[in-house]
Amino acid sequence: MKTYQLNILAMCTVVLLLMACKKDNASREALPEGRVTFDLPATTDVVTRSLDIKNVSLLSMEMKATLQGSTSPDVHYVTFAPDTTKIVDYRLKYGSAALLLPTNTYLYYKSTVAIPAGSNLSEAAVLNLSFQTALRPLSTYVLPLTITSVDGKPQDPVTRRVVYYVFKTGEALYVDHTGYTPTATASSTSGSNVASRAIDANTGGTYWASATTVTLPQWVSVDYGRELSFSGLDYFFPTAVTPAMGGYTTSAKVETSSNGTTWTDRGTYAIDVNNAAKKHTINFPALATGRYVRFTVLASTPYISGTATFSIAFVGGIVLRN
């Protein structure tokens, strides 16, 4: 009997809540379409910002809605959302080369916001952006945004205002070699692990290794086919070589050249590739230029193969940084 009474009480509570919500919706001031818009000047339909694509980071953008005219005695709820079909209109108006911002690079953290009673301005909606390194360098990306509903009422897709959020990307993290095929030579080679493996696309799986019959220092030299400017490089170590096997580079020197004969010393660096990425980033004190880059392994931990120990150099990859 007691359980039955509790169930009746619970049902009555739900009914009362539903009735209260219905009353609230019914009593709320109905806003005509177009009265709620972006909190931007009426003549503004483009918001532009620069976007660094060299590193993955979380960026947040805020936008607000405004209630035009007098304030309302009721709270009103506004929902923002992309309208990707509007990229066609942007291209017609501002440039056909514009790219639609990929869906995997953004997420509305907070898309529905309130305009408090007695106020004309909403709280901030929040759009998060990430995975910028997947974007093309020196390009224009566009995300068309609209207010899709007010108090749950859909706004007309044809007449509702569109604001284009435009992102101008800068240089990529790494120097682009499109149109050029770098080549590599080395001071010595161990078996099939030739110098070209230090500059192929597989930065961790394939690698150059110096001969086990020579001692360090040993070097690999890369010809990029034209003069380049770069701020440093990422040095990759083979993923298959474990700390127990050894051969981990601990010191290296970087040099550049315009002709492959006369070399400029860009510094000697302590190297640590004992990490999950098997990578070490070298940042030069100043921007470097050159057609050739020579990477010399000066020291490494002993490399153990069976009962033998060797002094050996490994380079899984060398990638120049903008």
Same fold, 31-172 and 183-321: no
The predicted pLDDT at position 277 comes to 95
Q: Alpha helices, DSSP H only, in 68-209?
A: 87-94
31-172 under CATH 2.60.40.1740, yes or no: yes
Cα separation values, 157 from 122, 161, 281, Å? 21, 9, 49
Sign of CA dihedral 271, 272, 273, 276: negative
> How many whole angstroms separate alpha carbon 193 and alpha carbon 183?
15
Question: What's the confidence (pLDDT) of residue 6?
Answer: 37
pLDDT value of residue 286: 96
DSSP one-letter string for 236-302: E--TT--TTT---EEEEEEEEESSSSS-EEEEEEE----STT-EEEEEEEEEEEEEEEEEEEEEEPP
Question: Can you give the pLDDT at residue 24?
Answer: 53
Question: What are the CA-CA distances from residue 29 to residues 8, 164, 241, 273, 318 (Å)?
Answer: 34, 30, 69, 64, 64
Residue 86's SS3 state is helix
Pick the CATH number of 183-321 from 3.40.50.300, 3.30.30.10, 3.90.1150.10, 2.60.120.260: 2.60.120.260
User: What pLDDT shows up at residue 55?
Assistant: 83
Contact (Cβ atoms closer than 8 angstroms) between residue 36 and residue 65? yes
Give the pLDDT score at 26: 56
Distance separating alpha carbons of residues 26 and 136, to the nearest angstrom:
49
Go through the chain and tell me how many residues it has. Answer: 322
At 249-289, the pLDDT tens digits run 999 999 999 999 999 999 999 999 999 999 999 999 999 99
pLDDT of residue 111: 97
Per-residue pLDDT tens, the chain, 322 aa: give them.
444 443 444 444 434 333 444 445 557 889 999 999 999 999 999 999 999 998 888 999 999 999 999 999 999 999 999 999 999 999 999 999 999 999 999 999 999 999 999 999 999 999 999 999 889 999 999 999 999 999 999 999 999 999 999 999 999 999 999 899 999 999 999 999 999 999 999 999 999 999 999 999 999 999 999 999 999 999 999 999 999 999 999 999 999 999 999 999 999 999 999 999 999 999 999 999 999 999 999 999 999 998 999 999 999 999 999 9
Separation CA 199–CA 196 (nearest Å): 6
Phi, psi of 213 (to 5 degrees): -90, 0
Dihedral angle, C-alpha 231, 233, 234, 235, nearest 10 °: -160
Q: Indicate the helix (H) or strand (E) that contains 14.
A: helix 2-27
Domain ranges of the chain: 31-172, 183-321
